[in-house]
Amino acid sequence: MTVTGTTLVLAAPATPGPAPAPAPARGRAAGPYRRLFALPGTRAFTAGNLLARLPMGMFGISAVMMIAGQRGSYALAGAVTATGMAATALVAPWTARLVDRHGQARIAVPATLIAVLGSLALVVCVRTEAPAWTLFASYAATATTPNIGGMSRARWTHLLRDSPASHHTAMSFEQAADELCYLLGPVLAAFLCTAVFPEAGTLAGAFLFLTGMLVFTAQRSTQPPATGAAPRQGSPLRALGPLLALFGCLGLVFGSMEVTSIAFLDAAGLGAASGLVLALQAAGSCAAGLLYGTLRPRTLRTCVCALAALMALPWAAAATGSVPALAGALLLAGMATAPTMVTAMSRVHALTPTGRLNEGMTLAVTAILTGIALGSATAGTLIDHLGPTTAYALPAAAALLALLIGTAPRHPSR
């Protein structure tokens, strides 16, 4: 995305420093999450952040159901959404760099407007039976979508820079929020597209996204200060290289596990229940994330060891042919996801050069999206040739690869 205009090159106004955390009430110590949201402005920006984040789990499935329903082609729907994901992988780091340089409100609002217009254009093109290339062009325009989760994490990092324990709690909450939104988003999208009309999911997602982003960016007191000038430090890619490979493996786990589980349940005649069964994995991760926020942080090595062990459970459960066993295995496997993501994101915060935090986190998300796309495609091939039970070896192998990367010796950074 190219952003021009004189308003983007002006230095962002200085933002006030974070307010000190209030003292806990006498008689009973406040819990970690209660202390977290006692900070001024945190409830307001979190409300906007959650409202804007929910559509992240809606847009993909809404586009597939809308295009497939109107054009009768899942191949076209899949190709359009894949194009949008590829465009996002290219554009998102540039958007994040502009956010770091010029401030969240100055960049996120116009970028959101462009993305929302792309979603509306997609609805119009599908409705009017426009040529197929217009669908690709419209959905590619949504690549300017800002990384709302990254911007929220950047605010917590700014506010809690002197409180590592509270920062760990905040990162755990953010990961749980991710899981919750990706749990509820597809359910809401599927309901709107089937019970209302095919375009309802995309329209509702666009409205929620724009509204939530406006609420979020209106909270200027918690916004981290913009760097103003071009950063002198090198690209975060150099500092985050091995860590991005780890995030790619995590994406491979997520993408392959979802496709394989859907295929397994469909083969068992329970395709209609696939959403409910997959929701157990997200629910396990959400619960584990909230619990992890109340505990002492663990090392990345410990978290990826747990991930590698638990991700083998769905493969073992599928070998038994029992759907209840698979559901329980997915619930347990999900419990390793949030702690690993929280700990890995903390490493991103520690390694990213000053003034480029949002860019660093967006690179991590881009690596995850790339892994998801690769995992989905590879799992589909394995399912066609070897069946869904054998395909469960792919997420287990990806988790093992993440373990090898996460436990590899590190050379001191220069």
**Cα(82)–Cα(373) distance, integer angstroms:** 8
Q: How confident is the model at residue 326 (pLDDT cuts 50, 70, 90)?
A: very high
* CA 365 to each of CA 33, 327, 358: distance values in angstroms, whole numbers, following the listed order: 25, 27, 11
Query: What would the pLDDT profile of 68-95 be if each residue is shown by its tens digit?
Result: 788 877 678 878 887 888 888 888 888 8
- Name the phi and psi angles at 284, rounded to 5: -60, -40
Percent of the chain surpassing pLDDT 70: 87
pLDDT at 409: 63
* CA 75 to each of CA 64, 90, 217, 349, 379: distance values in angstroms, whole numbers, following the listed order: 9, 23, 37, 39, 17
What domains sit in the chain, N to C, each tagged with a CATH number?
Answer: 42-229 (1.20.1250.20), 240-414 (1.20.1250.20)
Q: How confident is the model at residue 3 (pLDDT cuts 50, 70, 90)?
A: very low
Contact predicate 375/254, CB 8 Å: yes
**Cα(326)–Cα(314) distance, integer angstroms:** 6
pLDDT at 203: 94
Query: On the CB side of 113, how many CA atoms lie within 13 Å of its CA?
Result: 7
Which has the higher per-residue pLDDT, 353 or 58?
58
Which has the higher per-residue pLDDT, 136 or 414?
136
Residue 323 has pLDDT above 80, yes or no: yes
**Cα(391)–Cα(384) distance, integer angstroms:** 9
Residue 239 has pLDDT above 80, yes or no: no
pLDDT at 410: 58
pLDDT at 398: 94
- By mean pLDDT, which of 2-16, 62-76, 106-120 is the weakest? 2-16
Query: What would the pLDDT profile of 345-365 be if each residue is shown by its tens digit?
Result: 888 878 877 777 778 888 888
**Cα(88)–Cα(363) distance, integer angstroms:** 11
pLDDT at 1: 40
Query: What would the pLDDT profile of 380-395 be if each residue is shown by its tens digit?
Result: 888 888 888 998 999 9
Residue 11 has pLDDT above 80, yes or no: no
User: Mean of the per-residue pLDDT values for the chain?
Assistant: 82
pLDDT at 414: 39
